């Protein structure tokens, strides 16, 4: 089962949505997209959200369907679904091997999830769709605004890890705590090298992860007497774990993004399995012509 760093993400975030703006509000384009498509769901419908995350799509359903299921590899995400989407059953599973009978759902949905598992997941989702049903996916696609943002975020995270910033900051923290002059000098020299490498590649601002981590540590150093060194080390360790998880997750977001060649491979596999092919439409942001995703649809 491949988690792609999502278990760490969902266990450490307070948000129920991956794509939020700086104020924490959900993406308006995604809200509008699902509001329109979920209006088709009735109280007699059987609905499954594949790779559902914390259930942001499920919570947009207007009325409780007869059957509502959320599937994800992250236990932490599904725990959030159980808390916020009453009536939704949750199943821990990889979407390339879904434990349901064929043709058992009228609506098969996914938002930025099914593409991570590749062709087997698309075949599985098609297998679950009942005659007359609707399959609707929002998927990552190359050259979209989201992927450009992912590339920027990944670059900053990889830079702070490559610079060895966290290990150097831990060594400096321990040396300052020891108050041994030779250790402080050695640690400061190593930290200065890591700091220079970071500052040469990343804009130091709280709006990017590397800048946030750097400025946070600088604040701790300025207020050194207010903190126990063990707390500073704990904070640095937490930030390092978060950076490593983010690097994994963002790398997988890049790798999962579809292009026309990948979509052709998926549709060829669907045709060979005697399933309908997926129809593609670019989804643009509400406030601009910038497109953020592909909508993939299939009707039987």
Domain-by-domain residue ranges, the chain? Answer: 6-11+25-144+257-299, 160-252
Q: Is the CB of residue 90 less than 8 Å from the CB of residue 82?
A: yes
Q: How far apart are CA 286 and CA 95, in angstroms?
A: 30
6-11+25-144+257-299 topology per CATH = Rossmann fold (3.40.50)
Q: What is the pLDDT of residue 21?
A: 40
Q: What angle do CA 46, 49, 52 make, to 5 degrees?
A: 155
Listed residue (4, 32, 30) closest to 17, CA to CA: 30
DSSP 105: E
> Could you give phi then psi for residue 11, rounded to 5 degrees?
-80, -10
Tokens of 66: 């007869």
Q: What is the CA radius of gyration of the chain?
A: 23
Q: What angle do CA 116, 121, 126 make, to 5 degrees?
A: 140
DSSP 24: S
Q: What is the pLDDT of residue 1?
A: 45
Give the alpha-carbon dihedral of 52, 56, 57, 61, to 10 degrees.
Answer: 130
Name the maximum alpha-carbon separation found in the chain. 75
As a residue count, the chain comes to: 300
Q: What is the pLDDT of residue 15?
A: 61
What is the value of pTM for the model shown? Answer: 0.84
Tokens of 286: 């509400």
DSSP 274: T
The answer for residues whose C-beta is within 8 angstroms of residue 170's C-beta and 6 or more apart is 233, 236, 237
Q: pLDDT tens digits for the chain (300 residues)?
A: 445 567 777 776 666 655 434 333 457 888 889 988 899 999 999 999 999 998 989 988 988 899 999 999 999 999 989 888 878 999 999 999 999 999 999 999 999 999 999 999 999 999 999 999 999 999 999 989 899 999 999 999 999 999 999 999 999 999 999 999 999 999 999 999 999 999 999 889 999 999 999 999 999 999 999 999 999 999 999 999 999 999 998 999 999 999 999 999 999 999 999 999 999 999 988 777 788 899 999 876
Q: How far apart are CA 274 and CA 90, in angstroms?
A: 29
Quote the distance between the C-alpha of residue 122 and its chain's center. 19
Q: Can you tell me which residue has the tokens 């800048």?
A: 211
């Amino acid at each position: 089962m491949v988690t792609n760093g999502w278990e760490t993400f969902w266990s450490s975030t307070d948000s129920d949505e991956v794509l939020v703006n700086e104020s924490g509000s959900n993406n308006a384009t995604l809200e509008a997209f699902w509001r329109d498509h979920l209006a088709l769901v009735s109280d007699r419908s059987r609905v499954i959200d594949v790779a559902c995350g914390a259930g942001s799509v499920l919570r947009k359903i207007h009325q409780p369907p007869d059957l509502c299921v959320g599937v994800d590899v992250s236990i932490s995400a599904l725990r959030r679904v159980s808390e916020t989407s009453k009536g939704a059953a949750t199943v821990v599973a990889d979407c390339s091997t879904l434990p349901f009978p064929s043709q058992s759902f009228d609506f098969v949905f996914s938002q930025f999830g099914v593409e991570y598992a590749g062709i087997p997941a698309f075949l599985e989702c098609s297998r679950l769709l009942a005659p007359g049903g609707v399959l609707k996916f929002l998927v990552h696609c190359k050259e979209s605004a989201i992927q450009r943002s992912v590339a920027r975020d990944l670059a900053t995270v990889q830079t702070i890890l490559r610079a060895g910033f966290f290990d150097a900051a831990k060594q400096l923290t321990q040396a300052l705590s020891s108050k041994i002059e030779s250790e402080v000098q050695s640690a400061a020299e190593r930290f200065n090298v890591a700091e220079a490498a970071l500052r040469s590649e990343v804009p130091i601002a709280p709006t990017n992860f590397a800048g946030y981590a750097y400025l946070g540590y600088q604040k701790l150093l300025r207020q050194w007497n207010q903190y126990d060194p063990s707390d500073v080390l704990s904070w640095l360790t937490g930030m390092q774990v978060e950076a490593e998880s983010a690097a994994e997750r963002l790398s997988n977001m890049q790798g999962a993004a579809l292009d026309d060649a990948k979509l052709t491979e998926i549709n060829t596999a669907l045709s060979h399995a005697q399933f309908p092919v997926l129809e593609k439409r670019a989804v643009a942001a509400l406030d601009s012509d910038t497109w953020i995703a592909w909508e993939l649809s299939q009707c039987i």
